[in-house]
A = this chain, B = another copy of it.
Amino acid sequence: MIELTRRATFSASHFYWNEQWTAEKNAQVFGRCANRNGHGHNYTIEVTVVGEPDPVTGFVVDLKWLKDVMEREVVEVMDHRHLNLEVPEFACMIPTTENIAIVAWRRLAPVLSRVGAAKLSRVRIYETPEIFAEYRGEA
């Protein structure tokens, strides 16, 4: 088994806010991220699939196809978007790095589990070069 990983980037806006809480509580828990005007990041997504390389092509998956899947399922959905306002999953889920990784996994897994002998292995989201979350699916 071998793991093959591809990266892509997107730029998005978000804020952290819990409607059940007062403004004071939101500010206390979320700090500067509670600014409802939003702020943003250049996110990097790293998608890893695992499988055996095809003996004829030497590919675990076709990287061009993987790029198209990542583009369609994640980048087009999130790039130049306000995550809280425009990505349906975040209507009732705070768009933390952890939750973006989970949402990206849920969008990618159905497509990437259909591909020959390979399957989705992990999704990593970098919010900045200093912070990233990694998800490997429900056990």
- Cβ contact within 8 Å between A58 and B94: yes
CB–CB B7/A129 < 8 A: yes
Complex copy number for this chain:
6
A56 to B57, CA, bound (A): 41
Q: A131 near B6 (CB under 8 angstroms)?
A: yes
Chain B CB count within 10 A is highest, among A42, A94, A133, for A42
Q: Closest approach, in angstroms, between the C-beta of A25 and any C-beta of chain B?
A: 11
Contact A37 B13 (CB under 8 A): yes
What is the total number of residues of chain A having a CB less than 8 Å from a CB of chain B? Answer: 62
CA distance A58 to B14 in the complex (A): 13
Q: Which of B5, B38, B81 contacts A132 (CB under 8 A)?
A: B5
User: A69 CA to B29 CA in the complex, in Å?
Assistant: 17
Interface string of A19-56 (1 = CB under 8 A from B): 01000000001111101011111100000000001001
A60 beta carbon closer than 8 Å to chain B:
yes
Residue of B nearest to A8 (CB): B130
A interface residues with partner B (beta carbon < 8 Å): 1-9, 11-14, 16, 18, 20, 29-33, 35, 37-42, 53, 56-60, 62-64, 79-82, 85-86, 93-99, 101-102, 128-136, 139
